[in-house]
Amino acid sequence: MELLRLAKAAKRLGVHPTTLRLWADSGKIPVTWVGRERRFSSIDVEAMKVSSGGGRLRLEGLYVRVSGSAGQESLLEAQEHELRATSTGEIVKVFRDRASGLREDRPGLNRLLRAVADGSVTVVRVTHEDRLARFGVGWLKQLLAVHGATLEVLHPKKLGGREELLEDFVSLVTTFAGRLYGMRSAENRRRLLAESGQCQAGGE
């Protein structure tokens, strides 16, 4: 039997060291302390590889989203219930957002991507593809693949409701209108400053 350091044991298991540390803390794998460093028995590491089919463990991150900020708790719960009922691995965490699928900077999505990057999540699951994003899902799949993670869609071709599509459209129009208005405001400020300077120059 060999006592493996954290990094070496994680490499054998095909997971990120952070993930292995979390497993040790939760008691999923025995750990031996040598001073202040963790050590893992090579026997326990091999046993865990066998129990997971010799491949990477299936660590699921469930992502649920609704467009509205209030009044849609039942829709979030319905998505989560369906994903939990069809889970075939370990559910690490449920990531939630109340924001348009057009919005790129979503707190829940950002936390999910960080979990994928550190190896805590190896499978991202959603009920419908548009829960993850309205556009650019292909890029997100490539990003997940870089970290060895995959995307699973419970209902592949089905889109969201008409009301949410309308909300996303309004959100898109509002965003562009706000940017256009801001540009015009900036132009107006520059024009007023220029005119003010000319008036001062003419009065001297």
What 81-87 contacts at long range (C-beta under 8 Å, 24+ apart), as own/partner pairs, is 82/127, 82/154, 83/125, 83/126, 83/127, 83/154, 86/154, 87/60, 87/62, 87/125
pLDDT in tens, 134-157: 888 888 998 998 888 889 998 876
pLDDT tens for 83-130 read: 999 888 889 999 999 988 888 889 999 999 999 998 889 999 999 998
Does the pTM exceed 0.85? Answer: no
Domain covering 59-153 in this structure, CATH number: 3.40.50.1390
Instruction: Write out pLDDT tens, residues 36-95.
Output: 999 999 988 888 776 655 455 788 999 999 987 666 788 999 999 999 998 888 899 999
Residue whose C-alpha is closest to residue 80's, from 99, 67, 66, 100: 66
Q: How many helices (H) and strands (E) does the chain have?
A: 8, 7
List the chain domain ranges: 3-51, 59-153, 162-204
> What pLDDT is attached to residue 124?
95
Q: pLDDT value at position 69?
A: 65
From CA 106, how far away is CA 114, in angstroms rounded? 12
